[in-house]
Amino acid sequence: MSKWIGDAMESLLASRMPVMTVTDTQYINPSLKQIRFSGDLSNMHFEPGYAVVIRVSDIEHRNYTPTFYDTERGTMEIMFHIHGDAPGSNYIAALDVNDTLKISMPRGKKVYREPEKPQLLFGDETCLGVAFSLYPLWLGSGREFRFVFELDDANRDLPDRLGLTNYSVIPKKFGAENETLLTRLPIFENDTWRNWHNGNFILIGNAASVRNFRNVLKKRDVPGKSILMQAYWAEGKTGL
């Protein structure tokens, strides 16, 4: 998108794009930055898993998922994966207290659904925020739930640092190696699988891993309606 189209859209949608001020930033570790924002969120409707768009340069926009929101107090938090030298990553790394930015209306897929069924969330560092916002809801439901994270070695302790439980961590691998790791997950063991077969599966993060997990589930006859997929990024593509 060219700069002038970005500018024009922002002024057309001004009333629907609140200006948020950074009030706090915290590095959970060098590749996960949590930022708290403050602004007028009174017209915004949030759901767990809904994402907002942030303009990260004159011509680029990226999606990020608020982990916490309080529309009355006008506060919101997001966990950002600082993954390397790219427009979004660099912009977020540079954000500091008192900086301002605009956010779009939150929108997306509803990840909190049918809590009476076993729930599994699979994803990488980009989905830790979604896990963090689902955790209290799933814990409160008293039903079975599990997180499966594929993380860089340096990030293996992030779920623990965030206070999450009920999780497995697998290393990041590609292709057949990734699929093999997924098929070895404890939920697929015979007795356990009898229960999990009727579960809901939320697969987000790296597009290739999401596809691999879906293939593993399909081979086990999990119906499509029980699988919610959303690629958050794909190797070699920019700004999904």
Chain residues that interact with ligand FAD, rule: CB under 6 A: 51, 62-65, 78-81, 83, 86-89, 108, 126, 129, 230, 232-233, 235-240
Q: How far is the CB of 156 from ligand FAD (least distance, A)?
A: 15
* Choice between 79 and 187, CB closer to ligand FAD: 79
- Residue placing its CB nearer to ligand FAD in the complex, 127 or 187: 127
Amino acid in the structure at residue 71 = T
237 dihedral zone (left: phi>0; alpha: psi -120 to 50; beta): beta
Q: Specify the residue, 55 or 146, whose C-beta has the smaller distance to ligand FAD.
A: 55
Q: Which is nearer to ligand FAD, 55 or 118 (CB)?
A: 55
> Closest distance between ligand FAD and the C-beta of residue 61, in Å?
9
Two structure tokens written together for 233: 């990024």
CB of 152 to ligand FAD, least distance (A): 9
Question: How does 94-120 read in b/e, with b if 16+ C-beta sit within 10 Å?
Answer: ebeeeeebbbbebebeebbeebebbbb
Nearest residue (beta carbon) to ligand FAD? 88
Smallest separation, CB 89 to ligand FAD (Å): 4
Is the Cβ of residue 46 or residue 80 nearer to ligand FAD in the bound state? 80
Residues sharing a CB contact under 8 Å with residue 178, sequence separation 6 or more, in sequence order = 150, 172, 208, 209, 212
Q: How far is the CB of 224 from ligand FAD (least distance, A)?
A: 20
Return the axis-axis angle of helices 175-183 and 207-219, rounded to nearest 10°: 50
Judge residue 40's burial from the number of C-beta atoms within 10 Å of its C-beta, 0-12 exposed, 13-18 middle, 19 or more buried.
exposed
185 φ, ψ to 5°? Answer: -60, 145
Tell the smallest beta-carbon distance from residue 93 to ligand FAD (Å). 9
CB of 94 closer than 8 Å to CB of 42:
no
Question: Hey, what are 20's tokens?
Answer: 């948020």
∠ CA 192-135-124, nearest 5°, is 80
Nearer to ligand FAD, 81 or 146 (CB): 81
